[in-house]
Chains A and B, each alone.
Chain A
Amino acid sequence: MKDLLNRYGLLLTTVFAVLTGFWILVLVVLPNIYLFEHSFKPYLPVAELGGPKDVYSLDNYLTFFRSPIHISVFFWTVIYSAVVTFICFLIAYPLAYYLSKVSARALLPMIFLLLFIPLWVSEVLRSFAWFIILALKGPLNASLLGLGIIEDPVRWITGFRGVIIGLVYTYVLFMLFPLYNAIQSLDTNQIEAAEDLGAPWWRTHWRVILPHAKPGIASGSVMVFMLSAGSILVPTLLASTNSRWFTEIIQQWMFESQDWNTGSAYAFLLLILCTVFVSAVMRVFRVKLSDIAK
């Protein structure tokens, strides 16, 4: 702080502090504390606010724990978000390795430009694209039928299949870029040394490249998992009747029941889930928050 005062004087330092304070306090900390507090309050008509019924209780959370349906939706959201994260890793890892260590340098800007296009196209359009492709009479079935690979149109959007396809497509790039950054910083000599010393290719990856890519894996996993579990668009557009996502239940509380208190309890559960996941990843991969945020 003293250093700031010396360099920029009292006025500018105050400005910095006020701006940062506004952001952290008013936009981040206070709303979350308020969300937490609100989740323990009952849903009451305006006239009864502050009245005898307006007391803290665990009721909103008990609503969740007493509902087998909500618990199972939560459970499957966690499982399938993890599955999506893992699939994204499987798809992205070879590509990240190829782009950072094998491919021709001159082509890279072109490839990245092509990859940035889907990244900048909004999520709603990307899920909409798959909504068209996976339709029963859509282009995917038409071309597979035309090629003679399948004989009857496949109903793609059943169970969680549509959701998984959509989520992987939408978020795989959030895995690719952190992985690429991590692998790129590995000295190629280390890979060659491992090969010269007779390591088979899989051991080179397992013992040299993967350990070095840990911060990238952690960062990518956290982003993909968080975005998947919190996704609203993909599960709504690509879900079938028997695949519900936890965010859809939160939406129900907020918009259909207009019960913001139970809604905030459910939102808080989602927040806890993501916090637990981030801490677990940081522990398992032994990385710091600053590695993830890169």
Chain B
Amino acid sequence: MRQVRSIDWLFHLYLVLFLAYMLLPLIVMGGAAFNDSRFPSVYPWVGWTDRWFVELWADKRMWNAFANTIYVALAVVAISVPIGTAAAILINSIAGATRSVLYALMVAPILTPGAVIGISTLLFWNGVGHAAGSDFFLFKAGLHLSVLGQVSFIAAFVMLLVLARLQSFDRGLEEAALDLGASHSQVMRRILLPHLYPAIGAGAAIGFFQSIENFNVTLFTRGTYDTLTVYVFSKVRTGITPTINALALIMITATLLGAIGYEIGRRRRERRLAGK
């Protein structure tokens, strides 16, 4: 590895440059939240201010969009976690051509552009409503359709995570429990699910984040409702002010705290496992 060593510093430099490339834009965007200039920028620096945060706080539309985002994300997690888990257990127990076809159908939504998912969901439920001759609001565009559209691909993430976890599951445990007289639901609750919990938890976290930052599916299915991404998007297109930067900074900070918390939790678990 000697010849590689000699160019190590080049790699280090490259890594530092790449990290700067990834993080500087976010810092610039966050920094602009404190600049007292109408147009969001860090240059020229007009002066330090907190007025964009105050304005953001007073923006009713933002709060409404924020609440909608959380509702949608919670609903998406609540639906896609059971679906993804069930699908993983199901596909893990079948083999052959059926499995390949089913697997392809399950991962297809991940590889489908969000616009296509959004439009097909919108059209399909409208069509169902039309066929039923009903004007019932659930068939019209709205956040519930955004939820269904998002579930169609987020369930696939959950399925993949749980399926990966199932590979390390010792099926003999289930057989032993059944032989010892456990009921089917006991096997499920006491043996299988506890083994799957890490994957289910990771799936729920990923699903929640994916839902919050989703734009493409939501744009076509939302009707007249706002979510945070749609709110930011329409603000940037119409009247752009640094309140968006204030919001961005808050969201990045929240993400950062979440990521650090997750990492600390992971390390603590690892240490506990190592200690055993």
Write the residues of chain A forming the contact surface with B, with a CB cutoff of 8 angstroms: 1, 3-4, 6-9, 11-12, 15-17, 19-20, 22-24, 27-32, 34-35, 38, 49, 91, 94-95, 98-99, 102-103, 109, 111, 113-118, 120-126, 128-133, 135, 137-139, 142-143, 169, 173, 192, 195, 201, 222, 226-227, 229-233, 236-237, 247, 250-251, 254, 260, 263-264, 267-268, 270-271, 274, 278, 289-290, 292-294
Contacts and interface: CB of A to CB of B under 8 A. Distances in A.
Main secondary structure of the interface of A (DSSP, over half): helix
A87 B163 CA distance: 32
Residue of B3, B42, B111 most packed against chain A (CB within 10 A): B111
A16 B86 contact: yes
9 contacts: A20-B87, A122-B215, A122-B229, A232-B216, A237-B236, A260-B123, A264-B119, A293-B160, A294-B160
Nearest to B98: A1
Contacts of B113: 226-227, 229-230, 247, 270-271, 274
A139 to B, nearest CB: 5
Contact size range, B: 35 or more
Contact of B229 (A11, A118, A124, A274): A124
Given A16-B87, A117-B255, 13 more contacts: A20-B83, A27-B148, A28-B152, A111-B19, A114-B22, A117-B256, A138-B43, A139-B41, A192-B1, A222-B111, A254-B119, A289-B107, A293-B110
B103 A247 contact: no
A98 B29 contact: no
Contacts of B237: 236-237
B93 A4 contact: yes
Contact of A125 (B11, B184, B248, B267): B248
Interface of B: 1, 3-4, 8, 11, 14-15, 18-19, 21-23, 25-26, 28-29, 32, 39-44, 82-83, 86-87, 89-91, 93-94, 102-117, 119-124, 127, 130, 148-149, 151-152, 155, 160, 174, 178, 183-185, 187-188, 209, 212-213, 215-216, 219-220, 228-229, 232-233, 236-237, 244-245, 248, 251-252, 255-256, 258-260, 263, 267
A126 B25 contact: yes
A278 B108 CA distance: 10
Given A135-B41, A226-B111, A232-B215, A38 B4 contact: no
Nearest to B95: A3
Contact of A35 (B87, B119, B152): B119
Contact of A201 (B4, B42, B127): B4
A28 B86 contact: no
A99 B11 CA distance: 9
Contacts of A94: 11, 14
